[in-house]
Amino acid sequence: MIVYLLRRLLSAIPTLLAIVTIAFFMMRIAPGGPFDTERHVPPEVEANLKKAYNLDKPLIEQYWDYLKGVVHGDFGPSFRYKDFSVTELIESGVPVSARLGASAIVISLILGITLGTFAALRQNHFGDHAAMGLAVAGIAIPNYVVAPILTLIFGIYLHILPVGGWSGGALRNMILPVATLALPLVAYITRLTRGSMIEVLRSNYIRTARAKGLPMHIIVWRHALPAAILPVVTFLGPAAAGVLTGSLVVEQIFGLPGIGRYFVQGALNRDYTLVMGVVILYASLIIILNLVVDIAYAALDPKVRFK
C-alpha cells in the first residue's frame, strides 16, 4: 500500500508540471493583458507596472520564476486585487466553495444512491420510470437554467429564501446554491447506481443469497450495494474536485465569494497569477481524489489489489 501511494504521488509531479506549463503559456498567448483597460495608460506608467510584476522579463524567465515560487508555496500577487496575494484570495474562497461542495456531495450521494436502488428494484415499473425521468431532467437542464428558476420561485415569488449573498454561511443562503449544485450530481449518481445495481442483482452470489432465504433488504444493503456503487465512486472523484473548487456559474449567479467566482473574474481581467493558482488547486484536487477513489475501490472490492 505505502509503495503504491508513493509511486502515485511521485507520478503526480510530472502531471502537475505539465498542467502548470500548459496553463502558463496559454494565459500568456491569449490576447490582452492584466493592465489593458478602457482608459489609456501612458507608456512609462505601463512600463513601471510591468516591471513591478516582473512582466518585463523574457517569457521563459517569467516561467522559471513562477515555478520557483510555486515550489515554495507562493503563487504570487494578484494583478487586479490590490494588496492581496493569490494565496490569500484562495484561502478566503476555499471555505465557501468547500462548504457548498461538500453539502452538495453528501445530499447527492444520499438521494442518488437511494433513488438508483429504488429504480433498480422496480425495474420497468412506474417507480423506475419516474426516477429515471427525474434523472434525465437533472442531466438535461443545465444549472445556469436551474439557478434562475429556483431564484424566481423561492426568492421572488414566494419570498422564502434569499436570492444571493453568503451572510457568513447561513443555512438560508446555502439552500438554493446547494440545490443547484446537487441536482446534476443526483441525476448522474441515480443513473449509475440503477444500471450497476441491476447488473449486480443478476449475479450468481446474489442468487445464492436469495436461495439461502436472506431478507431482501440485507441482500441489497450488505451484499449488492458495495459492488453496485463502484461506478459511483469512479464518477465521484473528478466530480467532487469540480464541486469542491466551486461552480463558476452558481457562484456568479448567487454572488458567493468562492473559488469559482475568483476564477471567472481572474480570467476576465487577465489576472494571470489568480487563474494559475485556481488551476493548480483544481489539478491537485483531481489527483488526490482519484487516489482516494482507488483506495476506496480496494475497500469495497476484495478482488482489487495494489501492486
pLDDT value, residue 29: 80
Q: Is the pLDDT of residue 38 over 60?
A: no
Q: Which residues pair with 85 in a beta bridge?
A: 77
Q: Is the pLDDT of residue 27 over 90?
A: no
Q: List % helix, strand, coil for the chain (3-state, nearest 5).
A: 75, 0, 25
User: What percent of the chain stands above pLDDT 70?
Assistant: 92
Task: Please give the CATH topology (third level) of the domain spanning 86-300.
Answer: MetI-like fold (1.10.3720)
Pairwise CA distance, residues 30 & 162, whole Å: 38
Pairwise CA distance, residues 275 & 265, whole Å: 9
Show Cβ contacts of residue 242 under 8 Å, excluding neighbours closer than 6 positions. Answer: 282
For residue 21, report the phi and psi dihedrals to the nearest 5 degrees. Answer: -65, -50
Q: Is the pLDDT of residue 222 over 60?
A: yes
For residues 162 and 297, the model is more confident at 162
**Whether the Cβ atoms of residue 118 and residue 189 lie closer than 8 Å to each other:** no
Pairwise CA distance, residues 224 & 21, whole Å: 44
Q: Is the pLDDT of residue 110 over 90?
A: yes
Express each pLDDT in 240-255 by its tens digit: 877 776 577 788 888 8
pLDDT value, residue 303: 65
**Whether the Cβ atoms of residue 116 and residue 131 lie closer than 8 Å to each other:** yes
Q: Is the pLDDT of residue 67 over 70?
A: yes
Show Cβ contacts of residue 118 under 8 Å, excluding neighbours closer than 6 positions. Answer: 127, 131
pLDDT value, residue 246: 58
All 3 cell numbers of residue 60? 521563459
Domain range annotation of the chain: 86-300
pLDDT value, residue 107: 93
Q: Is the pLDDT of residue 236 over 90?
A: no
Query: Please, what's the largest Cα pairwise distance for the chain?
Result: 85
pLDDT value, residue 294: 77
The angle subtended at Cα 205 by Cα 200 and Cα 207, nearest 5°, is 85
All 3 cell numbers of residue 168? 457568513
Radius of gyration of the chain (CA): 24
Express each pLDDT in 119-177 by its tens digit: 998 888 888 888 888 888 888 888 888 888 999 999 889 889 888 888 887 888 899 99
Residue 234's pLDDT band (cuts 50, 70, 90): confident
For residues 276 and 301, the model is more confident at 276
pLDDT value, residue 233: 84
Would you call 107 exposed, middle or buried from its count of C-beta atoms within 10 A (0-12, 13-18, 19+)?
A: middle
**Whether the Cβ atoms of residue 187 and residue 138 lie closer than 8 Å to each other:** yes
Mean pLDDT computed over every residue of the chain: 83
Residue 58's pLDDT band (cuts 50, 70, 90): confident
Amino acid at residue number 104? A
Q: What is the DSSP string of 74-118?
A: ---B-SSSTT-BHHHHHHHHHHHHHHHHHHHHHHHHHHHHHHHHH
